């Protein structure tokens, strides 16, 4: 009888522990196509432009006039920035909602031009830009007609 109580007690302890471990799992959203291929991080820090990216909310996080902004769009100054070619630092050890609390550490550890000595593969493929074809044979042609 005592053995049954001990086994039952151990079952409840282990099932509670297993349940707690499942509850700690962190869900990461779908990375953008330009995100690092190795994935597994909620936040990226992009050293060249001092911007964070939150994979879960698809927001860029950047400092503007002393205030941290979250936006679905990159700051206007970087609208033509090559995110595919940029090195993205994956902040794998951070699990909060304010990666910028470590901004000055990140700026020091990952200065502009930081690339960790490797070319980073991206999660998706770079989109192909359509090549514009200009008809140069007829461009700015001017025909004089004298009406005769």
97-136 pLDDT, tens digit each: 999 999 999 999 999 999 877 788 998 988 876 443 333 3
CB contact at 8 A, 55 and 29: yes
pLDDT computed for residue 144 by the predictor: 34
Strand-pair category, 43-46 with 59-64 = unpaired
Domain boundaries, the chain: 26-109
pLDDT computed for residue 126 by the predictor: 87
Q: What contacts 60, CB < 8 A, 6 or more positions away?
A: 51, 52, 53, 54, 70, 71, 72, 73, 74, 75
What are the average pLDDT values for consecutive 10-residue runs of the chain, which has 148 residues? 50 46 60 92 97 98 97 95 95 95 97 87 80 37 33
């Amino acid at each position: 009888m005592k053995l049954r109580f001990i086994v039952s007690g151990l079952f409840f302890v282990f099932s509670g522990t297993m349940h707690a471990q499942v509850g700690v799992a962190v869900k990461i959203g779908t990375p953008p196509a330009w995100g690092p291929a190795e994935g597994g991080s909620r936040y990226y820090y992009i050293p060249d432009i001092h911007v964070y990216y939150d994979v879960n909310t698809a927001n860029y996080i950047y400092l503007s006039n002393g205030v941290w902004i979250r936006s679905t769009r990159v700051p206007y100054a970087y609208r033509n920035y090559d995110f595919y070619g940029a090195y993205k630092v994956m902040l794998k050890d951070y699990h909060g909602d304010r990666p910028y609390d470590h901004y000055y550490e990140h700026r020091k550890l990952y200065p502009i031009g930081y690339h960790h000595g490797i070319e980073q593969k991206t999660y998706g493929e770079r989109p192909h830009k359509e090549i514009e074809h200009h008809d140069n044979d007829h461009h700015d042609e001017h025909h004089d007609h004298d009406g005769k």
